[in-house]
């Protein structure tokens, strides 16, 4: 398999992703880069644009991801902040978020992520979701691999701790029926992509015979 490069400006995300690839024996490179994000509330489009930009810079197979955080009953703006979680400042101002939500009974929310892989020929996309609810106060300790400050206030379904309160083992083994874009990509890459590459090569060989 060719080398893969994960492009992100968030080192915590890289650590979490690398551990999963290491377990499958797939080496990946890390390229720290804050790519320009389209001003659109659509993680699928943003992720694809990041992968395209990254490939233009590196010229090698890359994958990039984008995620959104959706609060069902956010006052006057259901589903906010979505893909704007970083640009809105919500993840940096956890106290402000809790203040805004203090009188809201329905605290259901979810993370959704989209990973885009681009090999210079085709785009492939994978999705994941983790549902839960907001705590009423900030809870937990600093976690090196934390993907967001929202870990201090997000309690996954069927759990009573925030992500930041959990141990690594508890986070890994929690029973909240979540799915992971990274896991879906790894499974596909190990099986389907290798077969597609071989098929493409055979077709190319036939054309030049």
Between residues 140 and 145, the one the model is more confident about: 140
Which sequence spans correspond to the domains of the chain? Answer: 4-208
Query: What is the rounded distance in angstroms from the CA atom of residue 57 to the CA atom of residue 185?
Result: 22
Architecture, CATH, for domain 4-208: Alpha-Beta Complex (3.90)
Q: What is the pLDDT of residues 156-185, one digit of tens each?
A: 999 999 999 999 899 989 999 999 999 999
pTM of the model: 0.82
Query: Residues of 159-181 as b/e, b for ≥16 C-beta within 10 angstroms?
Result: bebbbbbbeeeebeebeeebebb
Q: What is the mean pLDDT of residues 92-113?
A: 96
């Amino acid at each position: 398999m060719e080398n893969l490069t994960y492009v992100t400006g968030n080192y915590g995300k890289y650590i979490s992703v690398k551990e999963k690839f290491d377990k499958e024996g797939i080496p990946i490179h890390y390229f720290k880069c804050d790519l320009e994000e389209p001003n659109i509330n659509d993680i699928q489009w943003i992720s694809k644009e990041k992968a395209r930009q990254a490939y233009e810079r590196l010229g090698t197979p890359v994958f990039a991801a984008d995620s959104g955080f959706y609060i069902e009953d956010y006052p006057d703006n259901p589903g906010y902040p979505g893909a704007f979680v970083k640009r809105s400042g919500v993840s940096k101002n956890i106290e402000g978020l809790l203040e805004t939500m203090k009188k809201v009974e329905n605290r259901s929310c979810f993370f959704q992520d989209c990973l885009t892989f681009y090999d210079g020929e085709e785009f492939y996309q994978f999705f994941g979701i983790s549902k839960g609810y907001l705590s009423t106060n900030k809870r937990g300790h600093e976690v090196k691999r934390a993907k967001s400050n929202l870990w201090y206030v997000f309690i996954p379904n069927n759990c009573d701790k925030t992500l930041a309160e959990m141990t690594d083992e508890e986070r890994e083994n929690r029973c909240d029926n979540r799915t992971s874009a990274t896991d879906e990509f790894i499974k596909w890459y190990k099986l389907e992509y290798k077969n597609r590459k071989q098929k493409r090569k055979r077709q190319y060989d036939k054309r030049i015979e």
